[in-house]
Structure 1
């Protein structure tokens, strides 16, 4: 029994040290190259290394060489069984404000090995609360929106693309 416990402690210690010493900046550059294939570019970011993740501060998001948004802070935290991406204060540029209200205060993407098929989404802002999941294997996203009255009044064209069910708006997307 002591040998099993000792082996388990060594394995957990090895995994922890591996996560701490993981080259996070190179991981970010790898992710940046992957999203660049989809014509999305992150620029002007300030990289900040953390023990179990990294932060990007004050970055600009470009889609097909058009500046779409400014992000105050993007944090990626990697834990043993749980990973989270949190995005704070996303401001869409003026030309995109007619499509969706800005700013988006918080966006959280969470992945857990206990629910290995889905990535959970949560967001809030002046539009209300948004939550849902992305099924990785079925390649399907389901998003629920609890819209505020200002969202209903000013962005009714966006809400028309969603189904109204049980007092909330539902949007399904296959990719």
Structure 2
């Protein structure tokens, strides 16, 4: 029993050391280089590294050289088996207002080992709130919106079923 206890303690210490000394900024730059192959570029104002997190401030997102959005703050928190990304105040370019709301107050995306094929998404904004999931195998997203009338500018992009308004697409 003592051997099992010592092995378990060593595994926990190793896991914590990996989390604390993980090169978070270098992993972010690797993500940026992978996105560049898809012609997506992120210009960040500043990057702050925490014990278990990475914070990106004033990030502009470009696709094929066209500015799509600006995020005030992006927090990435990871424990390896649980990852949470929070985006605070996302402002989408006005040219996309017929496809999406121009401002989103917050987006929270969560991925966990106990649901390896799905990413849970929650969002709030002037349109109300929405919750949904992304299937990472089929590249499929579904967001269920509340019954707010504020989402009228892009309501033609939403579908309705017995549960209410929803948006779904495959990437």
Q: TM-score range by the shorter chain?
A: over 0.9
The answer as to whether partners of 1:127 and 1:147 remain within 8 angstroms in 2 is no
The answer as to whether partners of 2:88 and 2:106 remain within 8 angstroms in 1 is yes
The answer as to whether partners of 2:128 and 2:150 remain within 8 angstroms in 1 is no
Question: What 5-or-longer segments of structure 1 have no aligned partner?
Answer: none
The answer as to whether partners of 2:103 and 2:125 remain within 8 angstroms in 1 is yes
Alignment of 1:24-173 (within 5 A): 24-152=24-152, 155=153, 158-173=154-169
The answer as to whether partners of 2:44 and 2:56 remain within 8 angstroms in 1 is no
Q: Which position in structure 2 is the counterpart of 1:5?
A: 5
**Cα offsets for 1:27-79 (capped at 9, x unmatched):** 00010111122221111430101101200001111111111211100011111
SS in 1 for 2:146: strand
The alignment status of 1:174 with 2:165, answered yes or no, reads no
Q: Displacement, 1:150? A: 2.2
2-structure distance, mates of 1:17, 1:51: 10
Q: 1:138 to 1:96 in 2, by over 3 A?
A: closer
The answer as to whether partners of 2:55 and 2:76 remain within 8 angstroms in 1 is yes
Question: What 5-or-longer segments of structure 2 have no aligned partner?
Answer: none
**Cα offsets for 1:95-122 (capped at 9, x unmatched):** 3334322320110110010111101111
The normalised TM-score by structure 1 is 0.90
1-structure distance, mates of 2:118, 2:15: 24
Equivalent pairs counted in the alignment come to 171
| CA RMSD, Structure 1 to Structure 2 (Å) | 1.5
